[in-house]
Amino acid sequence: MSEKETILEIKHLKKNYDDLNVLKDVSLDIKTGEVVVIVGPSGCGKSTLLKCINGLENIQGGDISLKGEIISNQKKNMHLVRQKIGMVFQSYDLFPHMTILHNILLGPLKAQDREKKEVIKEAEKLLKRIGLFDKKDAYPRQLSGGQKQRVAIVRALCMHPEIMLFDEVTAALDPEMVREVLDVMLELAKEGSTMVIVTHEMQFARAIADRVVFLDEGEIVEESNSETFFTNPKTERARKFLNVFEFDTVKGVKDR
């Protein structure tokens, strides 16, 4: 992993909401093809960090760079940056009046001015891959939560992002739908996609992560490879956090 290029660099990031310090001097590098999972208690700043990366929140200090170019607090070209940084939220944000296929086509056709025939071909190929080709002419209301979330992932992939951000994408799903979404993400990881994932699914985190970043009260408390974090966390705070989850943190989960 050290031989790979650093694609995203966060230096001394600070994010405040009025007098509330949400992110305090956060520094983090993401390398090409790396899967970094960010875990931590609710309210620790995980989702805010992703929103700062994607330009959905202004920052009060520090820099965020994509391939050496500073992208933080940009106004003029942020729409271009977001084409390189795909983001999937826990709310699917599909347009209800559009078919599934048209939801996927909208970004590549409008924002990237790509050839319609080429984008349709790619969208249909991706829908086949996730088992939803037969739903291409359906509307979001006709799909389950898990199906809509898979479509949201395909929509982001069709923009050809250089890095993908996932913000608690299974949080709004019924337990039986969680697996189908996580399987798609595992496939992306196996193919070498660069991903930053915020999740409360600890077994999934251990299975997919190259590196785990433990965030608490707006600060990185611990950072290590997946196996080390889940079997031998360095800090008492991380051990306390893992003890909350009812899964076998030491003997537990198969790696990908």
- pLDDT, position 10: 97
Are residues 99 and 136 in contact, defined by beta-carbon separation less than 8 angstroms?
Answer: yes
Q: Report CA-CA distances (Å) from 73 to 45, 59, 64.
A: 18, 7, 9
How confident is the model over 166-193, as pLDDT tens digits? Answer: 999 988 888 888 888 999 999 999 999 9
SS3 category, 223: strand
Q: Return the domain boundaries, the chain.
A: 6-243
The pair of structure tokens assigned to 106 is 């909208």
- Which carries the bigger pLDDT value, residue 30 or residue 91? 30
SS3 category, 65: strand
For residue 21, list its beta bridge partners: 16
Domain 6-243 is found in CATH 3.40.50.300: yes
How confident is the model over 2-22, as pLDDT tens digits? Answer: 468 999 999 999 999 988 999
Contacts of 114 (CB under 8 A, 6+ apart): 108
How confident is the model over 34-88, as pLDDT tens digits? Answer: 999 999 999 999 999 999 999 999 999 999 999 999 998 877 787 888 889 999 9
